[in-house]
Structure 1
Amino acid sequence: MSVTLQSFTQYAPGSSRKILDNINLTVEDGAFIALVGPSGAGKTSLLRAIGGLSPVYEGHLLIDGLPIGHSDLPKRKTGFVFQNYALFRHMSVARNISFGLDVLPRKHRPDRADISARVQDLLDLIQLPHLAHARPDQLSGGQRQRVALARALATEPKLLLLDEPFGALDPIVRRTIRRWLRELHDKLGLTTILVTHDHEEALDIADRLVVMQDGRIVQDADANTLNAYPQTPFVMQFLGETLEFAGEIQNKHFIPEDTDVLPFPVTENNGKTTVFIRPSEVRFVAHKGAAHILSQTRNPNGLYHYTVKTTQRTLDITTPVITEHAEDEKFGLDISQGKIFPNIR
């Protein structure tokens, strides 16, 4: 099932404030994408709009090429999993899973034997066949998440919408569940849209990341492209730790304000600007400045952490590269691998 939004805009109820601003997005059939960004970016609003839960908007929203209000859309089923799971506490696991089938209109509802068989298949799929008669409060967080997913899958949707589904889980369970979900997506041939504020989670599970800020899409690309070619400082900062160095471009060279940072050639025009760089891309160049190491440690994951003092500031630099500089040795900082964004002056 494909999803297409064209010039899609949505306003806050009773006001002119835009919740979603001129969204253009295509999700191909079978894709797994993640909507990422900070709180208030518009991720959940966009997910709800795609799910048909926000009917008032400007622009176009197409599901499999059909407008969202088209009469044929009920046949193209959508599964929705909320952050709080929304399981019914008074119902067993099996009844929770069958709920979406039980409430279908009679002419569309399978008979009891078919529903029972479908529930058993889903219990096997989520690897919880022994918990059919348990209640939600008897389950772990990871088990409740699997039941919520099974309930969403009971009506055999082609589009699965997930709103922060791993937020209440501890890190170890989160990793297990999201990998299981990715395998499930591939096995069932779903189109899946995940909302998360955790970029590492999105990088681990999704084909593409749609980065949102203030109700707009600021970049839509795969993980490698986002890391190599972020289009804005926000995208770069959202995806990982970033250092900033102010300076000025003069005659095709960046001249840093910090005299312990080395100039380097650029192609941009003259003027004040800022270089953005990952800490791991900073290099130490002996005898080219007055910077020095205040402390250094090796993390359990094999990375090296340096606290560096320049004439203007103190920096924390974590890198897989070991340096031979002693703590009293002076050096300059090479930031030539950094990025200059044209509109940042």
Structure 2
Amino acid sequence: MARPVSSARDSGQPDGGGCCGGAGVRGGGPAGCGAPGNAAPRSGDRDAPAVRARTARIAAAGAGGAGPGGALDGADSGRGAGAAAGGAAASSSAAGADPSRPVDAGRTGDVPGPRGAPRSGAGRSGTAPAVADEASRRPGGLLPAGLLGVLRPVLRRIACAARHGAGPAAALQPDALRSPRGAVGDGPRVRGRARRGVRLRPDRSEGISSADRVMSDLLWHLDGVMLRGVGRDRLAAVDLDIRAGVTAVVGCSGAGKTSLLNLLAGYERPDRGRVERIIGGEGMDVFWAPCDDGLWPHLTARQHLEAVAPRGARVDETIETMSLGDVAEALPDRMSQGQRSRLAVARALTAAPRVLLFDEPFAHVDAAQAAAGWHAVQAHLARTGASMVYTTHDPSLVLGFADRAVCLEDGRIVRDGDVDELYWRPDCERTMWLLGEGNWIDDDAADTWLDGGDGAPRGCRRPEQVRIEPRAESPIVVRAARFSGRITQADLYHEQRDRTRTFYHRPSADGLSTGMRVVLRLVILLLSAAAPMASLAGCGAAADAGPEPRRLDYWRIPPEGASIPAPRSVAIGPADEVVVLDNAGRLLIYDATGAHQHTWWMPDNSAGNPEGACWLRDGRIAVADTHYHQVVFFDDTGRVATTLGGPGEGEPGTFGFPVSIVEDDDGNLFVAEYGGGDRVQKFDREGRFLLAFGGVGTGPGHFQRAGGMVWREGRLFVADTTNHRVQIFDGKGDYLGMLGDDAIRFRFPYDVDVDSDGRAYVIEWGAGRLAILDADGALLGRFGSAGAGRGQFRTPWGVAVDRQGRVRVADTENRRVVSMVF
């Protein structure tokens, strides 16, 4: 039965100690240097030792300003541990920036403080004590993100300069910034020391101009990087380019994921090789959320966000999105680990940098909260166009969010590239497992286990590509079958060869039982063509460039358990409501503005999920329950009213795999199906069979994988997916022609809709784009490309147009619904 549901410290002592202690995080200037400290004791003083330990690894956020190619390099960068690596230090490089260039003290004064705080700093106060004292007078004693990380080493030197005689009247020139190692200046004797200091000047790397960096999508370039460890190198011979978009760094524990992120953030320097950061433009470059969260122990959750929020940021909204309302006024030591993890991510999103660095985000968060958090990150990226690099060992988090993946093993990159390519075509079994369950088929496995093994393809076969079916005379016997939701793990025994092996496959409707005799077959899926088709589409996309939407919005898919499901279909209701089918077996009802109203469930989805829906004129919603070979009708309360059809071998009124359903002007229903008998059947409003047309083939009126349909003005448009076309029929099933002319070739059209003016919208699954044609079938243009950014789609399955001309697209692999107005 469907389930209708409506949706809904420290001790006061500043950080550090001694002459060169760290700048006070709360209160006065550097400890031990004579600068005043005014931090009031808090109720958390009894936890002071633990808090001081956390304070020692406080993460600092970086502020923008130095421009592209700026370098953060040196021994002091390790002590400026931080939540963000800022634009003032826009490149971590072992070599390349001119070591003779002095620290630009004037620039440090331009790093913004918290909202409402004075913006004075080193360049404006004019004296070292003034800098420290200015920090003590900030609201709450706060050092903002940029100052804390980038200026901590500078403030140490300023403090020591005051103690060692620079005096209150000494101007903050580079040669006045003293440390026990001497002045940081321009002289040849200190150039070597400057290499170990903080550089805020742009890195003038050979061969790449600053302008080129700004225009490039290259974010980081690593060349021959090595990072030493205990027993073995943490990173070895790493050559890598990281580009704009979403990149996942994936690997087992100890693979080197955190070490790589530390280098990107500038927290560590390579022992060999070069790390160059190439990020330009205005505002903050990078914000880093390290694995230990890097929170400021003296700030509440709200103050964390306010400290980094640009003007106009919606702090309260972020607090609500991350479910931090209960701890908004609490300090980190009064939060759970999961709350601290969510706060670290919330702070990074609020800072609105151009690049987010996340080290295992939400690792300590429960499944439901983690799913909501990931959705918030995804929505932020789509809204702002920011890039993200994150580490994970969870394949679902790679497949669900990343454009590219970097696979690490024992400190070495074993593979990097497009996620779809790595998922479907890994080059070895170890790489296969980094992106999820799979079956590695070599010659021996093919000969032993596969039906028709001689001609079977070798290499990785994912669960979607393996089918295990009953066969009475087979020598292969099921010893155990464990169902885990989307896949089944089957332990098989080959009687003739006395061998066992585990295979992973998608469950069938019949299921497997112990003792059942079975055969294994490999199936060729449309999914396996996604990467090359997207690539082909990109080659000619410019020629088909069409109108840009006047408005582009993204709707969230509510989490289900530990994951954010993927939408598969969209349909429009009588008041322009939208029903979305997802791969969790749910019907999601949204109003016309995108507000989620209700969630209903299919009776069962263990064998597979539905692919098409139609909101009927009588108020019912008809759903093509694909893998259960039927149509399910829901009433307006979300309860199953009745069903139509059942499994069959082509008999009238039975279905193979029904994928879409539409209603004509008289209330008759058309149901499209695939799976051996590709056809369309027509039923009257009472569910009585009327006629069928189609069949498997490439000629006119035949289908290969019939898809979405729409009925408009006496004509039925059917997406003929694998034949790369949309065919048109009348109400009797007579073939009328094709949508568009011979020059228009769609790339795996999955769905089609037609608006009130006769314009047709075809969603191209294989190209990640939307084709728009006028009422005469002439191509007006195409919008979108394959990807996860704004204005991009990844394997979109459905499209629908409401009465106001708003186009809704099920952007399947991006796990969102896209709403557009052209």
- TM-score (structure 2 length as normaliser): 0.32
Q: 1:90 to 1:224 in 2, by over 3 A?
A: same
Determine if the alignment matches structure 1 residue 308 to structure 2 residue 492: yes
Aligned to 2:670: none
Aligned to 1:43: 257
Amino acid at match of 2:315: L
Aligned to 2:290: 82
Among 242, 256, 266, the residue aligned to 1:26: 242
Amino acid at match of 2:264: I
Amino acid at match of 2:385: G
Q: 1:141 to 1:189 in 2, by over 3 A?
A: farther
**Aligned partners of 1:75, 1:232: CA distance in 2, in Å?**
42
Pairs within 5 Å for 1:107-118: 118=311
**Aligned partners of 1:62, 1:76: CA distance in 2, in Å?**
17
Pairs within 5 Å for 1:176-325: 176-244=372-440, 247=443, 256=447, 258=448, 263-265=453-455, 276-279=460-463, 281-284=466-469, 286=471, 289-295=474-480, 299=483, 301=485, 306-311=490-495, 312-313=499-500, 315=502, 317-322=504-509
Q: 1:92 to 1:170 in 2, by over 3 A?
A: same
1:314: how far off?
5.1
Residues 292-323 of structure 1, C-alpha deviations (whole Å, 9 max, x = no match): 234557x4847556443212115355423346
**Aligned partners of 1:153, 1:197: CA distance in 2, in Å?**
22
Aligned to 1:122: 315
Pairs within 5 Å for 1:130-141: 132-139=328-335, 141=337
Residues 176-214 of structure 1, C-alpha deviations (whole Å, 9 max, x = no match): 111111112222332211111111112222222222222
- More deviation, 36-45/307-316: 307-316
Q: Is the 8 A contact 2:446 2:456 kept in 1?
A: no
**Aligned partners of 1:60, 1:35: CA distance in 2, in Å?**
19
**Aligned partners of 1:98, 1:326: CA distance in 2, in Å?**
57
Aligned to 1:56: 270
**Aligned partners of 1:173, 1:142: CA distance in 2, in Å?**
9
Among 227, 230, 234, the residue aligned to 1:11: 227
Residues 146-186 of structure 1, C-alpha deviations (whole Å, 9 max, x = no match): 42234335655322111112111111111111111111222
1:216: how far off?
2.6
Aligned to 1:95: 303
Q: 1:317 to 1:219 in 2, by over 3 A?
A: closer
Q: Is the 8 A contact 2:425 2:460 kept in 1?
A: no
**Aligned partners of 1:307, 1:143: CA distance in 2, in Å?**
40
Amino acid at match of 2:293: Y
**Aligned partners of 2:270, 2:487: CA distance in 1, in Å?**
50
**Aligned partners of 2:459, 2:257: CA distance in 1, in Å?**
29
1:38: how far off?
0.9
Q: Is the 8 A contact 1:208 1:220 kept in 2?
A: yes
Q: 1:39 to 1:295 in 2, by over 3 A?
A: closer
- Residue 264 of structure 1 aligns to a residue whose secondary structure is helix
Q: 1:49 to 1:322 in 2, by over 3 A?
A: same
Aligned to 1:107: none
Q: Is the 8 A contact 2:233 2:411 kept in 1?
A: no
**Aligned partners of 1:218, 1:263: CA distance in 2, in Å?**
29
Aligned to 1:158: 354
**Aligned partners of 1:325, 1:16: CA distance in 2, in Å?**
46
1:237: how far off?
1.8
Bigger relative contact order, structure 1 or 2 (CA pairs below 8 A, ≥6 apart): 1
**Aligned partners of 1:32, 1:83: CA distance in 2, in Å?**
19
**Aligned partners of 2:487, 2:456: CA distance in 1, in Å?**
30
Aligned to 1:172: 368
Q: Which consecutive unaligned segments of at least 5 residues does structure 1 have?
A: 67-72, 102-114, 249-253, 268-273, 338-345
Q: Is the 8 A contact 1:123 1:132 kept in 2?
A: no
Q: Which consecutive unaligned segments of at least 5 residues does structure 2 have?
A: 1-216, 525-822
| Structure holding more strand per residue | 1
Q: Is the 8 A contact 1:20 1:45 kept in 2?
A: no
- TM-score (structure 1 length as normaliser): 0.70
**Aligned partners of 2:512, 2:272: CA distance in 1, in Å?**
59
Q: Is the 8 A contact 1:84 1:165 kept in 2?
A: no
1:12: how far off?
0.4
**Aligned partners of 1:173, 1:160: CA distance in 2, in Å?**
20
Q: Is the 8 A contact 2:286 2:353 kept in 1?
A: yes
Amino acid at match of 2:477: H
1:279: how far off?
4.7
Q: 1:34 to 1:331 in 2, by over 3 A?
A: closer
Q: Is the 8 A contact 2:247 2:404 kept in 1?
A: yes
Look at both structures and tell me which one has the larger radius of gyration over its CA atoms.
2
- Residue 193 of structure 1 aligns to a residue whose secondary structure is strand
Amino acid at match of 1:213: E
1:44: how far off?
1.2
- Residue 47 of structure 1 aligns to a residue whose secondary structure is helix
Q: CA RMSD in A?
A: 4.0
Q: 1:144 to 1:188 in 2, by over 3 A?
A: farther
Q: 1:326 to 1:301 in 2, by over 3 A?
A: closer
Q: Is the 8 A contact 2:470 2:516 kept in 1?
A: no
- More deviation, 232-241/304-313: 304-313
Q: 1:135 to 1:200 in 2, by over 3 A?
A: same
Amino acid at match of 1:291: I
